[in-house]
Amino acid sequence: YKGKIITVVGSGLIGRSWAMVFLSGGYRVKIYDNQPGQATKAIAEIRKQVEELQDAQMLRGKLSASEQLSLLSSHDDLSQALEGAFFVQECVFEDLQAKQTVFQAVENHVGEDTILSSSTSCLMPSNVFSLVQNPKRCIISHPVNPPYYVRLVELVPHPETLPTVMDMAFELMTEVGQAPVRLRKEIDGFALNRVQYAIIAECWRLVEDNVISVKDIDLVMSEGLGMRYAFIGPIETMHLNAPNGLEDYLGRYREGIRRVLSSFGPIPEFDGEAAARINKEICELIPSDQEHLSARRERRDQLLMGLAKLKK
């Protein structure tokens, strides 16, 4: 990878994080943003974070902070930013038209083999890449915030994406220390958000129906399910939770699981009286002013850092 170039288009929260991840893998990273001065600002922010990480002995990769930072540059000109890139990670606003336009422009400045990758959380590859000439080299690499500590990347193909492109993205993500997973076809919400929304829906219903408080349902996750989900998934959980593995588990619990699932309510409105009540309850625990929210975010990132260390 020495000397290989990755271009990050869009230098907000996610663009900056991707840049740090790629730098930690020893890649040259060129950042572009269409807001003048924004990419320069991003570089200053990355510099600060990379140095802080080094001081905290949490810097990823084999290179020192100054070695990593020497691989970084910012550009206000798109063609300059894309020159020599073998991989482009798009991180602009979550807006379909913006992304379509960006990829159309990007395609005009790169060679045929350059992989075009989008960070979109919710848009389908067939829509994001609908205006590109050659969707075979296009893919979605959906990170989880903050990607520096939460390593999962969902790789989602366009219907025409070449298997070799999927493989190369998988290799790149693995090499820079992320944990890629492959979706075999596109689906709304990908895998992570489909699971997340299922959890949100049932937690919401339980609070809405006055079964449990906001504080306690969050504890059900953080002190219960979440404890093992940081290390093993739900299928392995089933496999381990009966003496003789998954089939044994199903023999014992199939009926019960189906009975409980059949009592789940309809999709919540996430609105009206229930939303007002749930908002009031969470705000009593964590007021929604910037000071309190920032403090909780900082705590979250500190704990994630510790967990990431533990998982290593």
Minimum distance, C-beta of residue 176 to ligand NAD, in the bound complex (Å)? 16
Burial class (CB in 10 A: 0-12, 13-18, 19+), 189: middle
How many separate helices (H) and strands (E) can be counted in the chain? 14, 8
> What residue type is 10 in one-letter code?
G
Nearer to ligand NAD, 13 or 183 (CB): 13
User: If binding is defined by CB under 6 A, does position 197 make contact with ligand NAD?
Assistant: no
- d(C-alpha 204, C-alpha 275), whole Å: 9
Say if residue 266 is preceded by a cis peptide, omega within 30 of 0: no
d(CA 61, CA 35): 30
If residue 206 lies in a helix (H) or strand (E), which one and from where to where?
helix 192-208
Nearer to ligand NAD, 12 or 177 (CB): 12
Q: Which residue from 15, 26, 135, 268 is in contact with ligand NAD, where contact means CB under 6 A?
A: 15
Question: DSSP string of 76-110?
Answer: SSHHHHHTTEEEEEE---S-HHHHHHHHHHHHTTS
Shorter beta-carbon distance to ligand NAD: residue 154 or 208 = 154
Asked if residue 143 binds ligand NAD (CB under 6 A), the reply is yes
Retrieve residue 300's tokens.
């979250």
What tokens were used for 99? 């992304």
Q: Is 7 in the site for ligand NAD (CB under 6 A)?
A: no
State the Cα–Cα distance between residues 155 and 169, nearest whole angstrom. 8
Q: Which helix (H) or strand (E) holds 282?
A: helix 272-285
Q: Which of 5, 6, 8, 9 binds ligand NAD (CB under 6 A)?
A: 9
Q: How far is the CB of 111 from ligand NAD (least distance, A)?
A: 20
Of residues 32-71, those binding ligand NAD (CB under 6 A): 33-35, 38
Q: Which residue from 7, 74, 114, 120 is in contact with ligand NAD, where contact means CB under 6 A?
A: 120
- Contacting residue, 52, 55, 67, 94, with ligand NAD by CB under 6 A: 94
Segment interacting with ligand NAD, rule: CB under 6 A, options 20-28, 92-100, 128-136, 233-241: 92-100
Task: List residues bridging with 90 in a β-sheet.
Answer: 9, 118
CB 123 → ligand NAD: shortest distance, Å?
7
Q: For ligand NAD, which stretch binds (CB under 6 A), given 94-102, 109-117, 163-171, 299-307?
A: 94-102
Neighbour order of strands in the sheet with 28-32: 72-75, 28-32, 5-9, 85-90, 115-118, 138-143, 152-157, 179-182
Q: Does 93 bind ligand NAD (CB under 6 A)?
A: yes
Angle in degrees, CA 14, 38, 140, rounded to 5: 30
Nearest-approach distance from CB 41 to ligand NAD, in angstroms: 9
Answer for which of 4, 12, 238, 305 binds ligand NAD (CB under 6 A) is: 12
Taking the least distance from each CB to ligand NAD, the nearer of 8 and 207 is 8
Q: Which of 63, 69, 96, 98 binds ligand NAD (CB under 6 A)?
A: 98
As measured in angstroms, the least distance from the Cβ of 129 to ligand NAD is 14
Number of residues this chain uses to bind ligand NAD (CB under 6 A): 23
- If one asks whether residue 125 binds ligand NAD (CB under 6 A), the answer comes out as no
For binding to ligand NAD (CB under 6 A), which residues are involved? 9-15, 33-35, 38, 91-94, 98, 102, 119-121, 142-143, 145
